[in-house]
Amino acid sequence: MTAPHLLAWIFAALLLQLSAGIGVALWRRQGRSQPANAPAAVSPKPSSGAWPGWRDFRVKQRTFEDPANSQCSFYLEPVDQAVLPSFKPGQFLTFQLPINEAGETRNIVRCYSLSDRPTPTSYRVTIKRVPPPAGQPSLPSGLSSTHFHDRIREGDILQVKAPSGHFYIDSDSQTPVVLIAGGIGITPMISMLRWCLDEQPGRTIHLYYGLRHSNEQAFKPLLEQLAQSAPNFHLHVTCSRPGENDVQGRDFQHTGHVNVELLQQTLPHGQHQFYVCGPTAMMESLIPALINWGVPRHDLHYEAFGPASIKLPHDPSSPTAPSADTAFTIQFSRSGRTLEWNGQDENLLEFAERHGVSVDSGCRAGSCGSCETGLLNGDVGYPQTPDHDIAPGHCLLCTGKPASALTLDA
Ligand SMILES: Cc1cc2nc3c(=O)[nH]c(=O)nc-3n(C[C@H](O)[C@H](O)[C@H](O)COP(=O)(O)OP(=O)(O)OC[C@H]3O[C@@H](n4cnc5c(N)ncnc54)[C@H](O)[C@@H]3O)c2cc1C
Ligand code: FES
């Protein structure tokens, strides 16, 4: 190769490296400063931004994250290979899965939190296998989680809605963060933690991870490596029933449950932002306890992975939730049914199902939008603000309760 040729090659390589660097920097900037749904600024193929409806993703890789092989990560790449819109760490994806039951295929909808920091080429979710409830082995195990674990393999195609959700880390603040996870509630915390260590390396982070024993711990090598390498990251694995081989100080830091007493003993004084995600029992006890401890509501963020009725101490600034025992007439216009709400049901979805009115549902937690229904007349109240952005003139049945007589388009 002649000298001019060599120079031309070096120049071309430098130019390529520079443009790749600018592309990645712009994509990261987009993730920080624009809404999750904004189109990517730079892409080798045009990005489709926050796509409407369902988009096909191919499963690139599956990896178990815990010693019991009950929590499996799925890495997803868009089939169209366009750059992915960024998301806010803590948000989730919604999946539509064709499930075969007794020879019939029906679509079910479930949400799964993004379990890694944003990258332009793939998403990751981590799914826990859900067995039948304790003491009822004859009931079927969880439909979606069993489908993912037993049937979804590398190369399979999944239908996915764009990232969404209101549970995400406050990226503008440098206030120390307290992440509290129970079991599989660790998934949004890993996303927040990794994003924070990358983008806000000076911010103090405490992660409290509640488990029964360390056999249930997901992401153990990653968490231990991050705790060793980042002096401002403090890991508190808390086991309620440590296993025979679990050693305090090596496998876990505290025994018992993650509760306010533990936080009082281990957190330094000062303001913190709290992010909590865990099983129903943990959410229903910890959230009111944090408020009673004095955590201001604007510093408290939480998400339940399923139906949870978190009873907050009364906040005079928040609108009063509809009274459960008020009687209202509910008209289902398409089914031609007129029924009486008497407060017996937790929400309008349970009410409709109990009376045999056919309505769609997915997450049953206000996240996926499957139960969104036209509200032709009346007002619906929500004890907790749903994650799904409700379209004008509609309501969510799964977390909504009537605040007046209603006419629903169902
Ligand atoms: C915003 C959000 C984010 C989430 N993120 C994650 C995540 O990151 N990782 C994760 O693993 N999960 C996550 N979840 C939970 C997830 O969406 C599913 O709810 C979970 O996987 C269980 O769904 P499934 O279809 O497997 O179980 P389902 O089929 O919904 O069953 C749930 C339970 O009911 C039992 N059951 C079945 N039939 C009956 C019956 N007749 N009577 C009584 N019980 C019965 C099943 O055995 C099972 O125990 C998230 C949920 C939300 C809302
Ligand atoms: S069922 Fe998912 S929002 Fe109601």
Residue range 177-304, CATH number = 3.40.50.80
Nearest ligand, measured from the Cα of 111: 1
Return the structure tokens found at 132.
Answer: 């039948």
Helices 186-199, 220-229: axis angle to 10 degrees equals 30
CB 125 within 8 A of CB 114: yes
Q: Is 254 exposed, middle or buried (0-12, 13-18, 19+ CB in 10 A)?
A: middle
Residue 128 CB–ligand 1 contact under 6 Å: yes
Q: Which residue has the CA at smallest separation from atom 15 of ligand 1?
A: 305
CATH 3.10.20.30 fits 328-408, yes or no: yes
Residue 301 CB–ligand 2 contact under 6 Å: no
Q: Which residue has the CA at smallest separation from atom 5 of ligand 1?
A: 112
Residue 279 CB–ligand 1 contact under 6 Å: no
pLDDT in tens, 254-267: 999 999 999 999 99
Better-predicted residue by pLDDT, 284 or 16 = 284
Is the confidence at residue 34, as pLDDT, over 50?
no
What does pTM read for this prediction? 0.86
Better-predicted residue by pLDDT, 287 or 324 = 287
The pLDDT assigned to 41 comes to: 33
Better-predicted residue by pLDDT, 249 or 6 = 249
Ligand 1 site-directed mutation target among 144, 167, 396, most atoms within 8 Å of CB: 144
Which architecture characterizes domain 55-134+141-164 according to CATH? Answer: Beta Barrel (2.40)
Is the confidence at residue 21, as pLDDT, over 50?
no
Residue 144 CB–ligand 1 contact under 6 Å: yes
Residue spans per domain, the chain: 55-134+141-164, 177-304, 328-408
254-255 β-sheet, strand order: 254-255, 233-239, 205-211, 177-182, 273-278, 300-304
Q: For 69-74, what is the mean pLDDT?
A: 98
Which atom of ligand 1 is the closest one to the Cα of 144?
25
